[in-house]
Amino acid sequence: MNSYRPSSPLSNIPPVVKNLLIINVIFFIATLLFNKNNSFPLVEYLGVYYFDSPKFRVWQLVSYMFMHSPANFAHILFNMFALYSFGTALEYYMGSKRFLNFYLITGLGALALQMAVQAFEVYSIAGSITIDINTYRTSNQEYYNTLSEIYFGPMLGASGAIFGLLIAFGMLFPNAELFLIFIPVPIKAKYIIPIYVILELVLGVAQFAGDSVAHFAHLGGALFGFILVKLWGMRSPGRFL
């Protein structure tokens, strides 16, 4: 007699996407567990800081991709949903090894552009991309506040790599129809994803007060995703036509 074994919800998810999902969830749970009076030391230890910050550590270049805001559950929820939705199709198309390389490279590319923008901001204030921030504590409070946000505000999240996946999906599966929560009709990827990227550019340039989203990191992930698709000669498999 053959016994029936129901398939696991994760059984159809390719291995890299599955493990990335698991690692991100583990990091998020650990962040919540190691909570000291709402200070969340893992955010400080594993989130990434501007390269000239006294809090910068080399492992943060990679670890930041697996960290998410403990104060905003939607941060990890939407990133993991996008990883599952777009990453699954892309890993099946690219193969696991290339997909992992793509994910990590776009994550690093996101950080590279974000740090370049931060370096430009520091240079525009101080005339150098490396400074002793304490010299601004008493000399110019406005400049000190701006520099403090750069030097002591960690960046965390998979969003940069996710934007790399979005661009790759739009390029490889341009006619795939996507459903958005706030739009009741499906829209093809080749239309909605470029609009999303343009919106990130506008928000990044505008720098609205109170906006803590690293928009240029998203753009960096998108840029490196575009470059990799072109550099690796990847073409649409002809599905979703």
The average pLDDT across 212-217 equals 76
State the CATH architecture for 15-231: Up-down Bundle (1.20)
Contact 216, 114 (CB under 8 A): yes
The answer to which of 135-139, 150-154, 186-190 has the lowest mean pLDDT is: 135-139
Question: Where do we find the tokens 């007060």?
Answer: 209
Contact 42, 30 (CB under 8 A): yes
Q: What span, in angstroms and rounded, lies between the C-alpha atoms of 41 and 39?
A: 6
pLDDT over 50 (residue 53):
yes
Please tell me the predicted confidence (pLDDT) of residue 130.
92
Please tell me the predicted confidence (pLDDT) of residue 164.
95
Alpha carbon of residue 123 to chain centroid: 25
pLDDT over 80 (residue 4):
no
Residue type, 141: Q
Please tell me the predicted confidence (pLDDT) of residue 175.
86
pLDDT over 80 (residue 203):
no
Cα separations (Å) of 137 from 61, 120, 145? 28, 20, 8
Task: Quote the mean pLDDT of the chain.
Answer: 86
Q: Which among 20, 181, 165 has a CA at the least distance from the CA of 85?
A: 165
With a pLDDT cut of 90, the percent of the chain lying above it is 59
Please tell me the predicted confidence (pLDDT) of residue 23.
96
Q: Which among 10, 12, 36, 38 has a CA at the least distance from the CA of 25?
A: 10
Contact 118, 216 (CB under 8 A): no
The average pLDDT across 160-180 equals 89
Torsion sign across C-alpha atoms 214, 111, 55, 45:
positive
pLDDT over 80 (residue 141):
no
The average pLDDT across 226-238 equals 89
- The SS3 of residue 188 is strand
The average pLDDT across 153-165 equals 93
The average pLDDT across 78-86 equals 92
Question: Where do we find the tokens 């939607």?
Answer: 74
Cβ atoms within 10 Å, residue 82: 18
Q: Where are the domains of the chain?
A: 15-231
Q: What span, in angstroms and rounded, lies between the C-alpha atoms of 105 and 92?
A: 18
pLDDT over 70 (residue 29):
yes
- Tens-digit pLDDT profile for residues 183-194: 667 778 888 888
